[in-house]
Chain A
Amino acid sequence: MFILDADFMRIAFATGAVVGVLAPAVGFFLVQRQMSLIGDGIGHAAFAGVAAGYLFGVSPVGAALVAATLAAVGVEWLRSRHRAAGDQALALIFYTGIAAGVVLVSAAGALNANLFSFLFGSILTVTWSDFALVAVLGAVGLGIIALLYRGLVAVALDEEGARVSGLPIGLLNVALAALAGVTVAVSMRIVGILLIAALMVLPVIAAGRIGTSIRSTMLLSMGIGLLSVSAGLTMSYYANLAPGGAIVLLAAAFAVAAQIGAPLLNRTR
């Protein structure tokens, strides 16, 4: 049977394409600002959201979207107000999220296979309505990145200089944090909460070794993300693997290959 004959694979590829492009696009700015691990922290908050969704009988994806976005903005708020150092703010959100998730899951009695599909990703449980939500949020996310691209680059290059020249640093940082929250929420069905941060970071690391400019590095990272998701889904279909793991292992392979191949590439330039 051809892979795209199955309806669930068509949904998975369509959803994965959005995730593969969006996650590195957002992750690019997080990596440049030494905030690579924020996706992990937000993922744990998203887990609490999923659990709350089960407990209160509302959409787990919608609840995760709210929890992840609030957590991301919360980290940024704590960091920018100097109420906590960046890693401490992240630790606070990280552990609060996972603890709240565990408590809510046990209260809801939801320790089942469906919950695991959120943790590790699943191609069987994604529906066309999931895809519609992912597509809309992905398009909005990419649109916001395109709109704020120059400002986000200016802040990544030199936050103090951008502040002195009057750019709205607070607004840009909150927008980036909210985008990170949305990315985690929309990606968790395919990649899984535990691995989504890797898809935001590994393609960027790979592209950073071979790009020649900010723009080319960002576009390359989106291409590597898309390729990782497509190849990872194909692998998971034929080998019956968890898609999140397959996708992230491929992205890691790209990062390692880029590390090894970059010196050779640079010699030919």
Chain B
Amino acid sequence: MQPAVELKDVSFAYPGGPEVLSGVDLEVRRGEFVTIAGPNGGGKTTLLRVALGLEAPATGEARLFGEPADRVRDRYRIGYLAQRTRLAIDAPASVSEVVTAGRVARRGLLRPFAQADREAIADAISRVGLQDRAATPIQRLSGGQQQRAFIAKALAGEPELLVLDEPTAGVDVDAQEAFGAFLGGLHEALGVTILYVSHEFGAVERFVERVVLVRGGIVFDGPPAELPAHWHDPSHVHP
């Protein structure tokens, strides 16, 4: 089976800027739970954007599910949770509406929802424990509950690859720990490939199979147990 994510000798620079990534080789197998960590400005979000086909590498190639990342078919196989602490819109949006938005790509833009879609949405809401709050405007939920609603949105499309970009930004330590345990349980239950991108990874260290540290390139790639002690705080990573 093709890897979920594959980067081969990738380098990248924004127009007129210095090289952000160079010589990146990375393979994430299906079903793995991997954290991509590193200091702010180290290139981890750029690496993610290249891996998802949102940015074209200057050299090398990026592949998703074995296909070129920018031309991959059936992109609904990717569940994506962007860094955010609030909704992008001002209008009240119920939990159910937010989660439903995560199902649209899988169903197709113009096709009406079928029973299977409604069940997938309800299942995603139940999985994050918000079934009693489905009709509640998401703005009235706590930060941790909002985060779970966004996870449900990413799960509603029944993704094969779940990508979380700085999901714990602005969330307190206890909520981060709870979120890490929740993701660990989710990975075990669904077997979904998880790519967790964050400048710190303490909350998920017990659950991930691999830690990938990025600082212009990959400076460490292996199980958390093999991570040198002085790199556990990635803001102090030095190649």
Q: Which residues of A contact B (CB under 8 A)?
A: 28, 31-33, 147-148, 150-151, 153-154, 156-168, 172, 204, 207-208, 211-218
Contact = CB atoms under 8 A, between A and B. Distances in A.
12 contacts: A28-B91, A31-B91, A147-B110, A150-B100, A157-B87, A158-B88, A165-B78, A167-B105, A211-B91, A213-B96, A213-B97, A213-B135
A165 B154 CA distance: 9
A207 to B, nearest CB: 8
B190 interface: no
Which bucket holds chain B's interface residue count? 35 or more
A248 B102 CA distance: 36
B75 A164 contact: yes
A166 B92 contact: no
Given A31-B91, A215-B97, A218-B91, 10 more contacts: A150-B100, A151-B104, A154-B101, A158-B88, A160-B80, A161-B102, A165-B76, A166-B78, A212-B137, A214-B89
Nearest to B89: A32
Determine chain A's interface SS by DSSP, over half rule.
helix
Contacts of B194: none
Contacts of B80: 160-161, 164-165
Contact of A161 (B82, B90, B91, B100): B82
A160 B89 CA distance: 13
A213 B94 contact: yes
A161 B81 contact: yes
Contacts of A28: 91
A32 B54 contact: no
A110 B101 CA distance: 49
A167 B104 CA distance: 8
B93 to A, nearest CB: 5
| Candidate in B78, B84, B92, B94 with the most chain A CB atoms within 10 angstroms | B92
Contacts of A167: 104-105, 109
Nearest to B79: A165
A164 to B, nearest CB: 4
Nearest to B154: A161
A208 B89 CA distance: 10
A172 B163 CA distance: 24
Contacts of A157: 87-89, 93, 98, 101
A153 B97 contact: yes
Given A158-B101, A213-B97, A166 B91 contact: no
A164 B163 contact: yes
Interface string B128-141: 00000001010000
